[in-house]
Structure 1
Amino acid sequence: MNQKVTKREKLCYVLTNIGNVPVQAILGSYLLIFYTNIVGLNPASCATLFLIARILDGLNDPIVGFVIDHRKVSKMGRFRPTLMLGAVLCGLNFLLLWMGPYMATGGKLAIAYISYLLIGIIFPIMDISLNSMLPVMTEDPAERNSLSSIKGITLLLGVFGINIIAPILIGDASKAEGYITVIIVATAIIVICSLLGSLGLKERVRVKTGQEKYEFKNLFDIIRQRPVWATFLCALLYTTGTYIVNASNTFFYTYVLNNLMLLSLASMLQMLAMVPASIIAPFLIKKIGKKNAYIVGLFCFGIFPIVRFINVTNIPILMIATVVAGFGAGLAMPLQYGIQADNTDYIELKLGYRAEGAVASLSSFITKCAMGIGGAIPGYVLALVHFDSTTMIQTSMVNNMIIFCTVGSPVIFCCLAIVVFKLGYPITKEKLEEQNNELKELHHNL
């Protein structure tokens, strides 16, 4: 079968990934400040909600991945139907998550818990199906690199696009109208882009006759594989730091810099810095391999911004650090998805079965844990230092904790992530070439 992915498919792949962006981006950046400033919930209560709900719904992800991997394949394939179903359900739940607590006259925290737990059950149907598409769209390494770049760049552009537009639409962080506009637009993007994109995708790599399917207990065998646990632990650390920043940024620009609109400028610069990263990435992969290129991206994104401590309110330093971080994100995010596809192939060679849904669901579980931990830390910290949502002038202690969450914490988490990945991930450039050759021979013989 021809392993080339058409331009039309790539455009549809862009659309499906755009549909995936608002859920994680807007929840991570704006839900905490919406719940505290608009709904009136206590930041510590929100932090507990984020932590408990994300870990619980993360535990649900391997079950969802198992069910998707083992469902009967339809004419549309294994993953596209569940992707489309998940998009519709997720869009409805996304509205409930924001509007339910806002419109309720009582029991706001209870409604927040129910809707947040529901999004953790429903979103994986959409997210795991989408993440499972990359390894089944093609076996060609060059095409996979192209798709992983498309996926990573689309997600990053989407996140930064939201961070450019959302502050402008929100305007005053203490008024509800702007948030409501953002929520309605985001819901439309989730449903429309996901459905239109899914219709144009194609699943080329199917389970071959003679290949066994994994059992649920085999998830433990999968997670014990060295490339898998090294990737996941690295992602847990890196993503936790990222979500701490996402949740803290709106507070940093609102209360430390006193200008939420600056977040739009910073996000625009970060997005522009991704362009050279996307151009350089294929050459860097060819030269030093995915593993080392990924480490370079993590360093630029998470560690270089420590220069902001020279003067945290200095705008030029902030923008320089933002540009370098954007370049690093432009390297790290696409490579993360390509590495996961390589891990899927590694599992097939070592354990004898395809497990796209399992790898995607375990990855989703790690992301959920990171979102829970990363989203909870700022909430607990703000409650600890007595953040007051009714005033624009915070104490020096509150501002210092906001600065630490925004600047200091990602440095710590990314340092740990780099150490784990450097020492733990075994698939070097040379070993990846050997793996691809072995897999081609295996599929030829089946």
Structure 2
Amino acid sequence: MSQRKTEATTLEAWWFATGNIANNLIFMLITMFLMFYFTNVMGLDPVVAGTIFMVARLVDALTDPIMGMIIDRTNSKRFGKYRGFIHFGAPLLGVVVVALFTLPNLDMTGRIIYAYVVYIIYSLCWTVVQVPQLTIPIIMSNDIAKRTKFQAIFQGVGSIGAAFTSALAMKIIGGAQNMMDPAAWRRVAIIFAIIATVGFEISTLAVRNLDVYDPNAKEKAEAARRKAEAEKIPLKERMAFLTKNVALFALLISFGTDMFANQINSQTNTYFFMYNMNGNTNLMSTLSALSLPVSIAMIFLAGPLVKTFSKKNVIVACEIVGIAASLVIWLTKAKNIPIFMGASACSTIAFAICNLMCRTALLDVSSWTKWKTGVEASGLMASTFTFMNKLMQAIASFAGGVLLKMIAFDASLPMQSTETMDKLLTMRVLLPIIAYVCTLIAMRFYPIDKAGEQQLQAALNNME
């Protein structure tokens, strides 16, 4: 039995973050390319493909709380509370990813059933690995400032995986001319699965002395149960935290609409570069690489940026940049590649910063609620935040499939009509702009501005 350390070192935080490279390799592979694979290689109707994404995401959203409860009840003598799920789940996730990019020798009905079953299994495997991975930072330190620092490292290092996904995939495939080859996509899936599995396994070693067996777990659980029973909050009162909490409601809308915009862009990127950009899929890799330095820099700049401007103002600025960049792309019709790449890079960077601000703002909202009501409801808020993430991705995936059908996209054609390509451009510009405007409206009602953050900090200091 290992002796539990009380806190991770900064080196261990960087080490553990290698798991987020693996995380993003798989996530971005699915987000960027699976819709294209379903429609252009497997031959599924775009609406059917979008529905598969939506159904699986909704299943995924509902299984997250269940996985959380399973983890809470786990106390392995060999793998502690979290590591076992990643250790055994990562190889299984890899196998399922390969199955997703394997073309079955079935008729169209069989392929649809196959896609539904395998993608839902993938979503469940993803939950088994991701939920414990995202929960482990809680045990890495009891200091809130250090937790924030460790989380910034986790997200910053993970951006490396996101940045190199398209470049690595295109290198393995061998260019746009091979993007309809099922064998090429299977090679991509196999290599990504191997790299991700190794990355996940390596990351667990970083916390092997933190995530250990707790011989007093049963006694602690019983004490926590008795405390929770004594402080039990009626369901009606808990729901009031959601329906009457302006800060949470505004943040949920901001985060959700931003995720919707990002999902639309990511899902249509492959189609856009394949058809509108004349097969210049290498530009996808360049675009991803442009945002990497900023993502790494945010590890060190997030704190000073928030201290100077507040999270609310940073989010508002990011949305304005996103709108401006989208309008530039639309007005120039993406004909000028340097302008298009510059505007797209600005939009991508703005999303990355805004996403980080929204995730850290959730901590403020939880503290704000406790300050205003005296009730700790952070778990309820966190689960609502996660559900919104999955819900908006589900809606965006379905909407993307429906819109591809509406613009008369035909996967059997080597090149789409000019009208279809123009509509594809409008679709990937107009929908995100609408989402960004919704975020700006929501932020108008978000109460925790710079002065609010200062008041909140003072209140937290008084609570200690």
TM range (shorter): 0.7 to 0.9
Normalised by the length of structure 2, the TM-score is: 0.82
Q: Any conservation in 2 of the 1:25–1:162 contact (CA below 8 Å)?
A: yes
User: In the alignment, which residue of structure 1 is the partner of 2:189?
Assistant: 183
CA drift of 1:347 comes to 6.5
User: In the alignment, which residue of structure 1 is the partner of 2:335?
Assistant: 313
CA drift of 1:114 comes to 0.9
2:266 paired with 1:263: no
User: In the alignment, which residue of structure 2 is the partner of 1:238?
Assistant: 258
Task: Find the residue that maps to 2:445 and give its secondary structure.
Answer: helix
User: In the alignment, which residue of structure 1 is the partner of 2:357?
Assistant: 335
Ranges in structure 1 where 5+ consecutive residues have no aligned partner: 442-446
CA drift of 1:55 comes to 2.2
Distance, in Å, in 1 between the alignment partners of 2:21 and 2:277 is: 30
Which of 390, 402, 411 in structure 1 is aligned with 2:424? 402
Deviates more, 1:37-46 or 1:122-131: 122-131
Listed as ranges, the matches of 1:270-281 within 5 Å are 270-281=291-302
User: In the alignment, which residue of structure 2 is the partner of 1:433?
Assistant: 457
User: In the alignment, which residue of structure 2 is the partner of 1:15?
Assistant: 18
Task: Find the residue that maps to 1:424 and give its secondary structure.
Answer: coil
Q: Percent identity?
A: 21
- The CA RMSD over aligned residues, in Å, is 3.2
Amino acid in the other structure paired with 1:282: G
CA drift of 1:124 comes to 2.0
Deviates more, 1:12-21 or 1:53-62: 53-62
Deviates more, 1:237-246 or 1:72-81: 72-81
User: In the alignment, which residue of structure 2 is the partner of 1:375?
Assistant: 397
CA drift of 1:368 comes to 1.9
Which of 94, 99, 115 in structure 2 is aligned with 1:112? 115
**1:88 to 1:295, Cα distance in 2 relative to 1, 3 A:** farther
2:165 paired with 1:162: yes
Amino acid in the other structure paired with 1:112: A
Amino acid in the other structure paired with 1:365: F
Q: Any conservation in 1 of the 2:101–2:182 contact (CA below 8 Å)?
A: no
Q: Any conservation in 1 of the 2:253–2:438 contact (CA below 8 Å)?
A: no
Deviates more, 1:402-411 or 1:426-435: 426-435
Distance, in Å, in 2 between the alignment partners of 1:233 and 1:96 is: 35
Listed as ranges, the matches of 1:359-374 within 5 Å are 359-374=381-396
Q: Any conservation in 2 of the 1:164–1:263 contact (CA below 8 Å)?
A: yes
* Structure with larger Rg: 2
User: In the alignment, which residue of structure 2 is the partner of 1:38?
Assistant: 41
**1:2 to 1:113, Cα distance in 2 relative to 1, 3 A:** closer
Deviation sequence 1:185-214 (CA, Å, 0-9, x none): 22123322122212323369x989665377
Distance, in Å, in 2 between the alignment partners of 1:9 and 1:287 is: 29
CA drift of 1:374 comes to 1.7
Amino acid in the other structure paired with 1:281: A
Normalised by the length of structure 1, the TM-score is: 0.85
Q: Any conservation in 1 of the 2:57–2:123 contact (CA below 8 Å)?
A: yes
Distance, in Å, in 2 between the alignment partners of 1:422 and 1:79 is: 39
Amino acid in the other structure paired with 1:212: A
Distance, in Å, in 2 between the alignment partners of 1:78 and 1:212 is: 21
Deviates more, 1:193-202 or 1:221-230: 221-230
**1:405 to 1:133, Cα distance in 2 relative to 1, 3 A:** farther
Task: Find the residue that maps to 2:228 and give its secondary structure.
Answer: coil
Q: Any conservation in 2 of the 1:132–1:360 contact (CA below 8 Å)?
A: no
User: In the alignment, which residue of structure 2 is the partner of 1:300?
Assistant: 321
CA drift of 1:342 comes to 4.2
CA drift of 1:253 comes to 0.7
User: In the alignment, which residue of structure 2 is the partner of 1:24?
Assistant: 27
Deviation sequence 1:7-52 (CA, Å, 0-9, x none): 2321233112122213321111101111111111111211122223
User: In the alignment, which residue of structure 2 is the partner of 1:212?
Assistant: 228
Task: Find the residue that maps to 1:212 and give its secondary structure.
Answer: helix
CA drift of 1:360 comes to 4.8
2:180 paired with 1:174: yes
Task: Find the residue that maps to 1:104 and give its secondary structure.
Answer: coil
How many equivalent pairs are there? 435
Task: Find the residue that maps to 1:194 and give its secondary structure.
Answer: helix
Amino acid in the other structure paired with 1:111: Y
Q: Any conservation in 1 of the 2:96–2:122 contact (CA below 8 Å)?
A: yes
Distance, in Å, in 1 between the alignment partners of 2:195 and 2:367 is: 32
User: In the alignment, which residue of structure 2 is the partner of 1:143?
Assistant: 146
**1:188 to 1:303, Cα distance in 2 relative to 1, 3 A:** farther
**1:378 to 1:273, Cα distance in 2 relative to 1, 3 A:** same
User: In the alignment, which residue of structure 2 is the partner of 1:98?
Assistant: 101
Amino acid in the other structure paired with 2:64: D
CA drift of 1:237 comes to 0.8
CA drift of 1:276 comes to 4.7
User: In the alignment, which residue of structure 2 is the partner of 1:71?
Assistant: 73
Amino acid in the other structure paired with 2:250: A
Deviates more, 1:429-438 or 1:388-397: 429-438
CA drift of 1:216 comes to 11
Distance, in Å, in 2 between the alignment partners of 1:133 and 1:226 is: 30
Q: Any conservation in 1 of the 2:156–2:298 contact (CA below 8 Å)?
A: no
User: In the alignment, which residue of structure 2 is the partner of 1:444?
Assistant: none
2:338 paired with 1:324: no
